[in-house]
Amino acid sequence: MPDPMTLQEESDHFSPYRTDGKLYGFVCVVTGANMPVGAAIVTELAAHGAACIYACTAFDQPSSLQSDLSKLYPNTQVISYPYSISSEQDTLVLIDEALNAWGRLDVWVCSSGLLGPPSIDQTTPQDLQKCFEANSLAPFFALKYAPHAMQKTTSKGNYLNAAPKDQRYGSIIVVTSTASTYGGCWGPCFTMSCHAALGVVRSGVAVLKGTGVRINAISPGQIDVGVSLNEFGTKSTLMGYNTQLPPAALQSPTAQKSNIGLERAGTPAEVGRVAGFLASGFSSYITGANMVVDGGASVMSPLMVPI
């Protein structure tokens, strides 16, 4: 049987140089779509021709992405999908629904991160469990179950932006944080669970050998996700249960200019662009990587954010 990675270069249906989009025809899942980074990733995938994106949100946190993006990218079907990241059953049901409706699954993005409390004194075992569920259990479920679906091929479907899938292909993307490689970004359970998320990616390389499926991490640094400390008082009271990354406002503009190579916080869209790269054939020889998106902060300073 030919090497699936060689086939990727030979198949016109997976060429990143397609004029109709580097992700044309892809069926994708993005968790945490109600958060700024997840929403930016959904937008990026739609902009490059994906046929369908399951924009997964918590049951009590609906997203307006479906209506917003249908106007911008009418050929991409964005499906608002209530989904529990800690539920194995929800993961299996979602995969079955995708295969039954589209006959394929190509991209799975875990962008459902959680900060948790900023100090160990405020951290309970329940807090730690919630962070591990959001930051590392969800990627584990993706690694365990999504590759089997990603290896299925199919003829061209009867829907907008449809394309045949004539080879085994898949990309699992885990959005974590620069806390995946060092401590001090936030509280202990954020650092612990982000390290575990990167562990899922590293262990996934051997798991996925011979499948044609890749797995990579994105570790954002300071990203302006629209959370202001003024809304919560001080950082000691910002518990972060509905926040994916530490507020960029933890560092003043002057401190950002001093400590970040690009002298500013990043934007969710800049994380989304990296996810689009990892989802496409442009990254066909990249697996097990940790793409650090921090403007050079981790090179400039041993700690991204002083606690």
Q: What is the mean pLDDT of residues 82-108?
A: 96
- Let me know if residue 70 belongs to a domain: yes
Residue 17 CB-half CA count within 13 A: 5
- Let me know if residue 1 belongs to a domain: no
Range of the domain at 177: 27-225+238-293
Most confident of 46-60, 148-162, 175-189, 233-247: 148-162
Give the β-pairing of 170-175 and 213-220: parallel
Q: Distance between CA 220 and CA 58 in Å, rounded?
A: 22
pLDDT in tens, 43-79: 999 999 999 999 999 876 666 788 889 899 999 999 9
pLDDT in tens, 216-242: 999 999 999 876 655 444 444 444 446
Q: Which range, of 16-30, 144-158, 246-260, averages the lowest pLDDT?
A: 246-260
CA distances from 210 to 14, 96, 169, 172 (A): 18, 23, 11, 15
Contact 149, 106 (CB under 8 A): no
Using the CB atoms, write b or e for 205-240: b if 16+ within 10 Å: eeebeeebbbbbbbbbbbbbbebeeeeeeebeebeb
The CATH number for 102's domain is: 3.40.50.720
Q: Distance between CA 273 and CA 266 in Å, rounded?
A: 12
Q: What is the mean pLDDT of residues 267-273?
A: 97
Number of domains in the chain: 1
What is the number of H-type helices and E-type strands within the chain?
Answer: 10, 7
Chain-centre distance for alpha carbon 262:
23
- Let me know if residue 242 belongs to a domain: yes
What per-residue confidence (pLDDT) applies to 251? 78
pLDDT in tens, 273-283: 999 999 999 99
- Let me know if residue 20 belongs to a domain: no
Paired tokens of 279: 């989802």
CA distances from 239 to 9, 77, 110, 234 (A): 46, 35, 21, 10
- Let me know if residue 6 belongs to a domain: no
Contact 109, 279 (CB under 8 A): yes
Name the nearest CA neighbour of 216 among 297, 307, 298, 142. 142
- Let me know if residue 172 belongs to a domain: yes
Q: How many CB atoms lie under 10 A from the CB of residue 144?
A: 15
Give me the torsion for CA of 123, 124, 130, 134, rounded to 10°: 30
Residue 6 CB-half CA count within 13 A: 3
Contact 290, 216 (CB under 8 A): yes
- Let me know if residue 163 belongs to a domain: yes
What is the value of pTM for the model shown? 0.90
Contact 298, 304 (CB under 8 A): yes
- Let me know if residue 16 belongs to a domain: no
